[in-house]
Structure 1
Amino acid sequence: MATPAATKRLTREYASISKSPPPYIIAHPSETNILEWHYILTGPPETPYEGGQYWGTLMFPPDYPFAPPAIRMHTPSGRFQPSTRLCLSISDFHPKSFNPAWEVSTILTGLLSFMTGEEMTTGSVRASEQERKLFARRTRWWNSTGGGSKPIPNAPGVTAQPSSNSRGIGGIKAGDGGAKFRLEWPDIDEENLKWMKEKNLDPATGLPRPAQSSQLHCSPEVAGLRRRPGASATVVQDAQIARDAGQGWVSRNKWKLVLGTMMLYILAARVLSDTSAAA
């Protein structure tokens, strides 16, 4: 439980950060525990994290500001291990180096600065720039679905999960993410779900659904090769030409050949008759 001094200090800081948030940072305390703060860092331009939505928690000790908070980032980023305590000079790994004059905005600004650098520490990971860009494109999907673990929005059974688990107080275990994010950031969660719908993303995978191709069906008239009322006579003529082209010359001119053969026969008979009479 927070001391009166910690409660007073954090209440004042919440009013301050709400009125004038630092660039790319928003944060608020949980409604049920003023020592549990939730933040979202937006990836700054010209970084591998550009446009990404990085959600995490600050767990303050009861005697804050005389001791620093535990800092976690739940959203996979390619920079930090998800939901793992980070060893920073502003975190609970170094209580002696913490300055009581530092505020929530100071802590989160320092976290953003460390994130966009390459220094390694406990809880950080190495990844290529391309991998981090890929993580950035999937952050909104991950936050609102817990990486595909949360059912379709508004479905029965979507409830917040306890924040205390094997990762420690403030950690998010597999399957808790989407419901917890929705509890703390309902407006942003709704925006994310609309964005996913616009992008036609599958909530289970975060990948685009295959485009639904409309199958074209021929009309009965065309399928049956029948001439439709009002159709051009050219269609019928072309069909006749096609049939003629498929026949041989003899087949097309057989009656001419028959008549010609008969005329030659008659002519030959007359010639033979005249020859016999002259003899």
Structure 2
Amino acid sequence: MATKAAHKRLTREYAALAAQPVEYITAHPAESNILEWHYVLTGPPQTPYHNGQYWGTLTFPPDYPFAPPAIRMHTPSGRFRCSERLCLSISDFHPKSFNPAWEVSTILLGVLSFMTSEDMTTGSISGTEAQRKEFAARSRWWNSTGGGSTDRTLGGSLKPSSNTKGFGSIKSGDGGKKFKEQWPELDEENWKAIEEQKIDPQTGRSLILAPAQNCSPETAALRKRASGSTAGLGAVVEGGQAARDAGQGWLGRNWGKLVVATLFVLLSDVQS
């Protein structure tokens, strides 16, 4: 239970954040416990996290601000291990270095700053830029589906996938229940985007097939043979046969021109 001083301080800080929001940062205490704060960081432009939605928690000690909070990020980012405490100078790993003048906004700005750096610490991981961009693109889906563990379907018209743990998710969750409890407006926005973009809630993959591109008869033959064959090695064999058939068809249509061109080259060599 929070002390009176901690309760007063955190109440004041929440009012300050509501009155003067900090760019890329949103945070609020849980209704049932003022020591449990939930935050969402939006990935800044010109970073691999651009437009990503990163949900985490700050767990404050009863004697805050004389001791720092435990800091966790739950959304996969390619930068931090999911739901593990982060060792930062502003976290409970270093209580002696914490300054009581630092506020919630200061702490979260520190998290965002560290996230966009390449420094390593306990709870951080080394990911590639491509991996971090992929996590950013999937972050809203992950938050609202619990990493694909939801039973919800698109408008009730599509059957759920058999993959209940989520495709490519780091850790399966509670179906997005906790995120929805803390961020109902964001959850509604996320599901609206999932519905509009026809994203499979269980896998995070698009259910919209890309339209076939215009292609040459040879490429069309390859696609036709490959799509009608069995998966795996059979598709490779069929595709190879289609390529040979396509090549033979081109030779059959143009063999006369090839012979004339060859003779022209030979005669030119003799005359020179």
TM over 0.5: yes
Partner of 2:252: none
Asked if residue 189 in structure 1 is aligned to residue 192 in structure 2, the reply is no
Counterpart of 2:132 in structure 1 is 132
Deviations 1:31-77 (A, max 9, x none): 00000000000000000000000000000000000000000000000
Aligned match of 2:82: 82
- Partner residue in 2 for 1:199: 197
In the TM superposition, residue 211 of structure 1 has moved relative to its aligned partner by 3.5
Query: Partner residue of 2:31?
Result: 31
- Given that residues 21 and 105 in structure 1 are in contact (C-alpha distance below 8 angstroms), is that contact kept between their aligned partners in structure 2? no
Once the two structures are TM-superposed, the CA of residue 151 in structure 1 deviates from its matched residue by: 2.0
Distance apart, 1:212 and its partner CA: 10
CA distance in 1, matches of 2:196, 2:16: 35
User: Per-residue deviation at 1:21?
Assistant: 1.5
Partner of 1:4: 4
Q: 1:209 aligns with which of 207, 210, 213?
A: 207
Q: Hey, what's the Cα distance between the residues in 2 that align with 1:13 and 1:177?
A: 31
Matched AA of 1:70: A
The one-letter code sitting in structure 1 at the alignment partner of 2:45 is P
Is the 1:78–1:132 Cα contact (8 Å) retained in structure 2?
Answer: yes
* Letter of the 2:195 counterpart: K
Q: Give 1:175 deviation, angstroms.
A: 2.3
Q: Per-residue deviation at 1:198?
A: 1.1
CA distance in 1, matches of 2:62, 2:56: 19
Rounded to whole Å, the distance in 1 between the matches of 2:109 and 2:148 is 30
Q: Is the 8 A contact 1:49 1:133 kept in 2?
A: yes
Which aligned runs of 4 or more in structure 1 are off by greater than 3 angstroms?
210-213
Q: 1:22 to 1:153 in 2, by over 3 A?
A: farther
Structure 2 CA distance for partners of 1:59 and 1:199, relative to 1, 3 Å: same
Alignment of 1:1-279 (within 5 A): 1-152=1-152, 174-176=172-174, 178-211=176-209
CA displacement at 1:153 relative to structure 2: 7.3
* 1:69-124 deviation line (CA, Å, top 9, x unaligned): 00000000000001000000000000000000000000000000000000000000
Q: Say if 1:34 and 1:54 are closer, same or farther in 2 by CA, change over 3 A.
A: same
Is the contact made by 2:148 and 2:172 (CA closer than 8 Å) also made in structure 1? no
Provide, for residues 254-278 of structure 1, a one-character-per-residue CA deviation record: whole Å limited to 9, x for no partner: xxxxxxxxxxxxxxxxxxxxxxxxx
In the TM superposition, residue 18 of structure 1 has moved relative to its aligned partner by: 1.0
* 1:13 positional shift: 0.2
How far 1:177 moved relative to its partner?
6.1
TM superposition shift of 1:23: 1.1
What is the CA deviation profile of residues 159-197 of structure 1, one whole-angstrom value per residue up to 9, with x for unaligned ones? xxxxxxxxxxxxxx7423611000000010000000111
Q: Is the 8 A contact 2:154 2:198 kept in 1?
A: no
TM-score of the superposed pair, with normalisation by structure 2: 0.70
Number of residues of Structure 1 aligned to a counterpart in Structure 2: 196
Gaps of 5+ in 2: 156-170, 212-272
The structure having more radius of gyration, on CA atoms, is 1
Separation (CA, whole Å) in 1 of partners of 2:93 and 2:100 = 15
Instruction: Tell me how far 1:154 sits from its aligned partner.
Output: 11
Aligned partner of 1:208: which letter? S
Question: Which amino acid in 2 is paired with 1:104?
Answer: V
**1:200 is aligned with what amino acid?**
K
In structure 2, give the amino acid aligned to 1:114.
F
- 1:14 alignment partner AA: Y
Amino acid at match of 2:91: S
One-letter amino acid of the counterpart of residue 195, structure 1: A
In the superposition, the TM-score normalised over structure 1's length comes to 0.68
CA distance in 2, matches of 1:120, 1:7: 33
